[in-house]
Amino acid sequence: MQIIEVAEREEGQRLDRYLEKYMSRAPKSFFYKMLRKKNITLNGKKAAGMERLKKGDQITLFLAAETIEKFRGSPKEVWEPSALSGNGKKKEKIGLDIVYEDEELLLLNKPAGMLSQRARKEDVSLVEYLIDYVMTEEEQEKMTFRPGICNRLDRNTTGLVVAGKTAKSLQYLNRLFRERNLEKYYLCLVRGKISESADIDGYLQKDEKHNRVQITKEMQEGAARIATAYEPLAVTVWRGQEYTLLKVHLITGKSHQIRAHLKSIGHPIVGDTKYGEKNLYHLFKREFGVRHQLLHAWRMRFGQPDYLPEKYHGKTFTAELPKCFREVLDGLGIGSRL
């Protein structure tokens, strides 16, 4: 027999989902069979598996230690923040740029070059740094819950990433993003002059093999409808070429949407090697050391849905521009426009 007490961070999970993570090698049918036979109980009573767990709840496993060990296996691998070097690991401690933090959520200012989530097992992403920051090693070993992020930015896009520190906060934050009950604003520097604000739409189709998207005006099979709005904040001329600093309202939020959408209307983002212009990239790399697209997730405003705690209703968060982006704007004479 084994008794598990639910920790505060784990509160809000369904019992069956909790069990699936705790004994990840067991088939789902095993849990429902054990629940029916009262070999697994919640607070001493028979449970169906759909119950939402609360802090202090006790889950009792009337199972042999060998059975638990077989289905649980070794603890899931938890990566320490590290930078891979050759075939080994070289630890690299970094300080997270925290925009806002309380007991439930965390907003981070992601730097360029960092993955939001792992694409491969050997990757180290923002999620691994987040887990290491929020949880002790003992918590990582014992708990089924892991802090997680609710929005993803491209590796070389900087700015706001929202993370849930508890199972309950992850649920309502993910719903907030899924239902688009928030406003997301980006800053970017584009080639060309844009004089007026506009709302643009279209259809986005992703090429998974080459990790690129294509924007069309007409609906294509497998394409998704997208909507982007922008407002020019400043226009300047540098080295005989016009540039515009844009505030972009990301309405739909698809992969590479802003980069590809602006390119499709003739205004590629400076520093973008995938959708931008090579000569523009090399110019800004040489003059300012720019090695990534000047696209920054700048500001976020939460909505006021009933499921979101009232203390977050209408709350606005802002992430400072990275040093490189700021230096480019200063060099072009428009840094004071923000």
Q: How far apart are CA 268 and CA 202, in angstroms?
A: 16
Does the pLDDT at position 86 exceed 80? no
- Report how far apart, in Å, the C-alpha atoms of 320 and of each of 111, 233, 300 are: 11, 16, 12
| Average pLDDT score over the chain | 91
Which has more pLDDT, 295 or 91? Answer: 295
* Predicted local confidence at residue 73, as pLDDT: 64
> DSSP labels for 89-101?
EEE------EEEE
Given 57, 132, 154, 272, the catalytic residue:
154
Whole-angstrom Cα Rg for the chain: 24
Report for 89-93, 127-131, 247-251: range of highest mean pLDDT:
247-251
Residue range 95-121: mean pLDDT, rounded: 93
Integer CA distances (angstroms), 153 to 29, 66, 156, 172, 314, in order = 37, 43, 8, 20, 23
> What domains are defined for the chain?
2-72 (3.10.290.10), 82-178 (3.30.2350.10), 182-337 (3.30.2350.10)
Kindly list the distances between the CA atom of residue 170 and the CA atoms of 142, 184, 200, 250, in Å, as whole numbers in the listed order. 19, 18, 31, 22
The answer to whether residue 154 is catalytic is yes
Is 93 a residue whose pLDDT tops 70?
no
Cβ neighbours for 69, distance < 8 A, ≥ 6 positions apart: none
* Tokens (6 digits) for 267: 């205004």
How many whole angstroms separate alpha carbon 290 and alpha carbon 236?
Answer: 18
DSSP designation for 269: B
Identify the three-state secondary structure at position 134.
helix
Does the pLDDT value for residue 245 go beyond 50?
Answer: yes
- Full-model pTM: 0.84
The pLDDT value recorded for residue 121 is 79
pLDDT band per the 50, 70, 90 thresholds, residue 32: very high
| Tokens describing residue 177 | 């993003």
- Percentage of residues in the chain with pLDDT exceeding 70? 93
Asked if residue 79 has pLDDT above 70, the reply is no
End-to-end CA distance of the chain: 62
Q: Which carries the bigger pLDDT value, residue 94 or residue 318?
A: 318
pLDDT band at 72 (very low <50, low <70, confident <90, very high): confident
Say how many C-beta atoms besides its own lie within 10 A of residue 283's C-beta.
17
What are the pLDDT digits (tens) for 133-187? 999 888 888 888 999 999 999 999 999 999 999 999 999 999 999 999 999 999 9
Q: What is the pLDDT of residue 92?
A: 53
pLDDT digits (tens, 9 = 90+) for 186-242: 999 999 999 999 999 999 998 888 889 999 988 988 899 999 999 999 999 999 999
pLDDT in tens, 113-143: 999 988 887 788 999 999 999 998 888 888 8
